[in-house]
Amino acid sequence: MKPHLALILLSALAACGGASAPATTVAAPPATNVPATPVAAAEPPAAPPAAPALRGVFASDVDRTADPCTDFFQYANGAWRAAHPIPASQGKWSRRWESGELNKEHMKDLLAEIAAHPGAPKGSADQIVGDFYLACTDEAATDRAGVAPIAPQLAKLDAIKTRADILHAIIDLHAVNIGVAFGVGSQQDPHQPTRVLADVMPSGLGLPERDYYLRPDKRFVEARAKYRAHMAKVFELAGRKQPAAALDAVMALETTFAKAQLDNVAARDPKAHDHPTTFAALGKLAPHVEWAAYLDALHIPHGDASLNVDEPAYMSAVDKALAQTPVATWKTYLTWHLLADAAPFLSTPLVTEAFDFDEAYLAGATEIKPRWKRCAETADLLFGEALGKKYVEKYFSPEAKARMKTMVDNILLATGDTIREAAWMSDATKKRALTKLSTFNPKIGYPDKWKDYASVPVTRDALWEDVLAGRRFVVADDLAQIGKPLDRGRWGMTPPTSNAYYNPQQNEIVFPAGILVAPGFDLGVSDAVNYGSIGVVIGHEVSHGFDDQGAQYDETGALSNWWTPADLTAFQAKGKCVSDQFDGYFIEPGIHHTGKLVLGESIGDLGGVTIAWRGYQRSLAGKPAATIDGFTPEQQFFLGFAQWRGDETRPETQRLMVQGDPHPVAKYRVIGPLSNSPAFAKAFACKPDAAMVRSEATRCTVW
């Protein structure tokens, strides 16, 4: 797991200026057969007393002109995609993303209702999220203020004279989650999993990742030129036009940082980040950072305790830059990152410029998200458990939680069957795998204990101050874990989030309420469809426990090998099959997936389909299931999967994903695993030479 601060930084970008965040109004009308309703609305109606018939897949989404055995991605929901172009502010679109955007409409309704009833006690959840939302949606006030809200921070940066001043400026920026030079966050100790350590990590690039600085391909050369022009424009809009040489120096400094970072594939290996270090050794590694001052300022305990340094070579490069790069360059670099980070919260010209680069140029969006949506996303990001508590009260039912729990249980049992039957694995390794499986911790819907935001000062007339207050809380809340025993109750996503995750260090699978909505999960559809959609998500997260990364952690969450050498070799060969398969998937001529980058997610998808399929069979316990709308239960399962996964994706977003996203594009997340699935081929009676059927010689199986 990347430490928390990095996640926060990524999320922060996604909220108001991010490159790949899905978003926008829900433009599509619901299909006639199944409305995209929240779980709460899917409770049984009062009358008639007989249970309503369960619905099946979205039959009208199917492209009947396509052959399921040739291109199942097109067949499953090609008709829906043709009728629902990607909205202007989105990078990708499907019913799944549509439901994610509906969650944001629900957040907006909650926020607007709270904001309409002022007078909540200071420090209460209502006061904090309500006042934040009012400040954030007051576009006229932010326009009037211009860049004045960041004037105090700019003045501090302007006052930098010495190298010691640089460090103090870095501390100030880190305290409000602005990523410059490096980062420090809390991290579970990979060797003593009940402890929490400080973790020092790379940070501080303005482009999406290192290759953008280094690769000679035309599209990266162009991205660098656009980035530099964007930098110039932002400085100009802030009334601080820079000479070309100053911007060149910032590019050169960021390029130095990029060169010193591991590439995306190398960074996937948890062992590449595992460098237990003492504070004394850290001082020797990077002597130009005054560590005691840095750690004291951020209230991070040090002394005899150990910590982890993700990439020591990177910290050496930062140290060298601190010693040698001119103070003036550091000033411009730090100012640039403050401006870039604050731009989405300032006046319209800066908001527009941030959008034009981050979302329009890099991800292909043609229209900025409405302000209310950006504000709801930021409220979720900063005060997610205050807003999330209200969200689950209204939109997540106990019935949904119970049904989800049953599915998770069945899929965990099915995983056990799969492990026991794995002919390629020795009994010794199976025993360890089953022990690990027995310690999986499913979290469903929302945390048992909610964060308390009472200390966060939020007012209804100072957006940037509110953002800073929220970020100070987020950073302090993360850093406060260091030196304490591990708290297993914390969540890495907020309840309204339409996503899920596996955390290998806590061996937990986590499903926020925001993903447990139609069409992923619906109490009104057949089990076949639910197992195909949310069931595969469950199977996917479980499979992450046994992917190229997860398999390196044992049942206690320690980074410790539990495989016999022969079994590890066999497992790695299975991974290579998947990696080779995805190396062959092109998004456009000359640009294809990097199999090793998407390996974990692709093992998750392949294992997810297989395990969820078994879980579904288990749930039937031999009983027959109904054919609905002409689709057999088996067909419903695979269509449920492909309809939920079936994103249309903009070319720009695909290029961004191929470069840095460990997830393949949706088309290959459907075609990749299903073309390895004999159950799929059987369900649609595909011939052995069909495009959707990989031959026995090339078929990949992992779990």
**Both tokens of residue 109?**
């309704």
Q: Work out how close the CB of 440 gets to Zn ion at its nearest, in angstroms, rounded to a whole number.
A: 15
Chain centre to alpha carbon of residue 184: 20
CB atoms within 10 A of CB 49: 7
**Residue with Cβ nearer Zn ion (576 or 663):** 663
SS3 category, 435: helix
| Closest approach of Zn ion to the CB of residue 110, in Å | 29
User: Which region, left, alpha or beta, applies to residue 623 given φ > 0 means left and ψ of -120 to 50 means alpha?
Assistant: beta
Query: In the complex with Zn ion, which residue's Cβ is closer, 386 or 537?
Result: 537
Q: Which residues contact 644 (CB under 8 A, 6 or more apart)?
A: 94, 95, 96, 519, 520, 532, 533, 534, 536
The distance of closest approach from Cβ of residue 500 to Zn ion in the complex, given in angstroms and rounded to an integer, is 8
Shortest Cβ 515–Zn ion spacing (Å): 12
Neighbours of 590 (CB within 10 A): 8
Nearest to Zn ion of 329, 543 (CB atom): 543
Closest C-alpha among 40, 102, 111 to residue 387: 111
Minimal distance in Å, beta carbon 537 to Zn ion? Answer: 9
Q: Sheet harboring 441-445: ordered strands across?
A: 441-445, 508-512, 501-503
Q: Which residue is nearest to Zn ion (CB)?
A: 604
Compute the least distance from the CB of residue 616 to Zn ion, in Å.
Answer: 20
Q: Which CB atom, from 138 or from 541, has the smaller least distance to Zn ion?
A: 541
Q: Is-contact 293 167, C-beta < 8 A?
A: yes
Q: How many angstroms separate the CA atoms of 452 and 476, rounded?
A: 13
Residues 62 and 621: their CA atoms lie apart, in Å, by 29
Question: Rounded distance, CA 56 to CA 400, Å?
Answer: 18
User: Which residue lies nearer to Zn ion by CB, 314 or 491?
Assistant: 491
Complex with Zn ion: residue 199 or 601, whichever CB lies closer: 601
Q: Please state the closest distance from residue 365 (CB atom) to Zn ion, in A.
A: 24
Residue 601 vs 647, nearer CB to Zn ion: 601
Tell me which residues touch Zn ion (CB under 5 A): 601, 604
Nearest of 589, 592, 612 to residue 673 by alpha carbon: 612
Residue with smaller CB distance to Zn ion, 375 or 537: 537
Of the candidates 626, 619, 124, which has an alpha carbon nearest to the alpha carbon of residue 406? 619
Residue 317 or 606: the one with the smaller Cβ distance to Zn ion is 606
Closest Cα to residue 435, out of 561, 309, 555? 555
Q: 389-418: b or e for each residue (b if 16 or more CB lie within 10 Å)? A: bbbbeebbbeebbebbeebbebbbbbbbeb
For residues 242-264, one letter each, b for 16 or more C-beta atoms within 10 angstroms of the residue's C-beta and e for the rest, the string is beeebbebbbebbbbbbebbbeb
Nearer to Zn ion, 479 or 612 (CB): 612
CB 269 within 8 A of CB 348: no
Instruction: Supply the Cα-derived Rg of the chain in whole angstroms.
Output: 25
